[in-house]
């Protein structure tokens, strides 16, 4: 059942103005999982994430990976989706999928309603998606936002068959856009990957009244020293989370490390996790980038 994970407000400089960022989550159990989670009415989807857990909702002994975590590109900006699978070993698990929603409250001096409508916010949003050519090591693609747009979050969907291809990069800043990549593991399994970039054109308007958002990113990384590794990061003071991305780096020629978590913990912090699978690989770095917003009005 969908549950509210977090709900936070950030005041603007004008009287009455503020932004609200909420996070919802839901889960599904199985060996091969897919799920979509929608924001509540009045909110607009600006990002999300996913994580694989055991049935006690921890990552102890987790033995499954992510194959997708992405915004649904249907023009409604309401849903975020994800998928997971076990690989080469039977492992029933829980997939948690999260969606990040935005609401904007108008200034008292504005003649608009108390909150901007989803349609008014969506008019300034865009989702770009690009699908790669087939590859086993590594299908990759970069989704570039239109001119004048700034990324708020990203995503990726691996179109796999046979043994399966798994996420190693999801929504990392690259080449003027957001890049994503996958890889097979132990058994060759070519696939394509679709990369997503959800972006904003500032300012958002309510009639003739502008509501710009300040958008920035910050990154952190840890050196891999164990089979399952995590890294978390928190937004700067005065900012709320709009998206999270991750990259599981490993040594060239190594067995490989894959993503099993990339998700918002709440409205101000996020976590990315990776692990080796079927063959030991304790090498490289685990990178997290968070996208953060604050009122510019």
pLDDT tens string 95-140 = 999 999 999 999 998 878 899 999 999 999 999 999 999 998 899 9
- Dist CA 61 CA 24 (whole Å): 25
215: which 2 tokens?
């958008």
- Read off the pLDDT band of 9 (50, 70, 90): very high
Percent of the chain with pLDDT over 70: 100
- Read off the pLDDT band of 242 (50, 70, 90): very high
pLDDT tens string 252-280 = 888 899 999 999 999 999 999 999 998 89
Q: How far is CA 241 from CA 7, 74, 106, 276, in A?
A: 11, 22, 20, 28
Give the pLDDT confidence score for residue 112 in this predicted structure.
83
- Read off the pLDDT band of 187 (50, 70, 90): confident
Give the pLDDT confidence score for residue 275 in this predicted structure.
97
- Indicate if the pLDDT at residue 169 is higher than 90: yes
Give the pLDDT confidence score for residue 45 in this predicted structure.
99
Give the pLDDT confidence score for residue 155 in this predicted structure.
98
Which positions ≥6 away from 270 have C-beta within 8 Å? Answer: 49, 232, 233, 241, 244, 262, 263, 264, 288, 290
Locate the domains of the chain by residue range. Answer: 3-295
Q: Which residues of 39-51 are buried (b: 16+ CB within 10 A; e: fewer)?
A: beeebbbbbbbbb
Least confident of 145-149, 161-165, 213-217, 258-262: 161-165
- Indicate if the pLDDT at residue 218 is higher than 90: yes
- Indicate if the pLDDT at residue 57 is higher than 90: yes
- Indicate if the pLDDT at residue 186 is higher than 90: no
- Read off the pLDDT band of 11 (50, 70, 90): very high
Among 125, 118, 48, smallest CA distance to 79 is for: 48
On average, the pLDDT of the chain sits at 96
- Domain 3-295, CATH class in plain words: mainly beta
- Indicate if the pLDDT at residue 163 is higher than 90: no
Yes or no: say if 275 and 184 are a contact pair by the CB < 8 Å rule. Answer: no
Q: How far is CA 86 from the centre of its chain?
A: 21
């Amino acid at each position: 059942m969908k549950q509210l994970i977090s709900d936070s407000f950030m005041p603007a400089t004008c009287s009455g103005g503020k932004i609200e960022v909420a996070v919802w989550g839901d889960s599904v159990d199985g060996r091969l999982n897919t799920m979509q989670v929608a924001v509540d009415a009045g909110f607009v989807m600006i990002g999300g994430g996913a994580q694989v857990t055991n049935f006690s909702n921890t990552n102890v002994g987790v033995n499954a990976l992510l194959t997708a975590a992405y915004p649904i590109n249907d023009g409604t900006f309401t849903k975020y989706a994800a998928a997971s699978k076990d690989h080469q070993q039977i492992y029933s698990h829980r997939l948690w999928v999260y969606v990040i929603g935005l609401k904007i409250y108008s200034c008292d001096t504005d003649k608009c309603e108390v909150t901007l409508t989803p349609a008014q916010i969506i008019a300034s949003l865009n989702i770009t998606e690009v699908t790669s050519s087939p590859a086993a090591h590594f299908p990759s693609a970069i989704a570039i936002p239109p001119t004048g747009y700034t990324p708020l979050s990203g995503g990726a969907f691996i179109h796999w068959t046979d043994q399966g291809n798994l996420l190693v990069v999801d929504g990392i800043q690259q080449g003027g856009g957001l890049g994503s990549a996958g890889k097979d593991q132990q058994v060759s399994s070519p696939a394509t990957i679709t990369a997503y970039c959800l972006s904003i054109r500032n300012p958002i308007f309510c009639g003739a009244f502008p509501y710009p958002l300040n958008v920035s990113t910050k990154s952190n990384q840890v050196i891999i020293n164990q089979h399952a590794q995590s890294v978390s990061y928190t937004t700067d003071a005065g900012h709320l989370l709009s998206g999270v991305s991750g990259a599981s780096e490993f040594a060239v020629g190594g067995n490989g490390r894959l993503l099993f978590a990339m998700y918002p913990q709440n409205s101000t912090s996020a976590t990315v996790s990776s692990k080796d699978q079927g063959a030991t690989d304790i090498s490289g770095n685990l990178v997290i980038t968070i996208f953060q917003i604050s009122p510019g009005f």
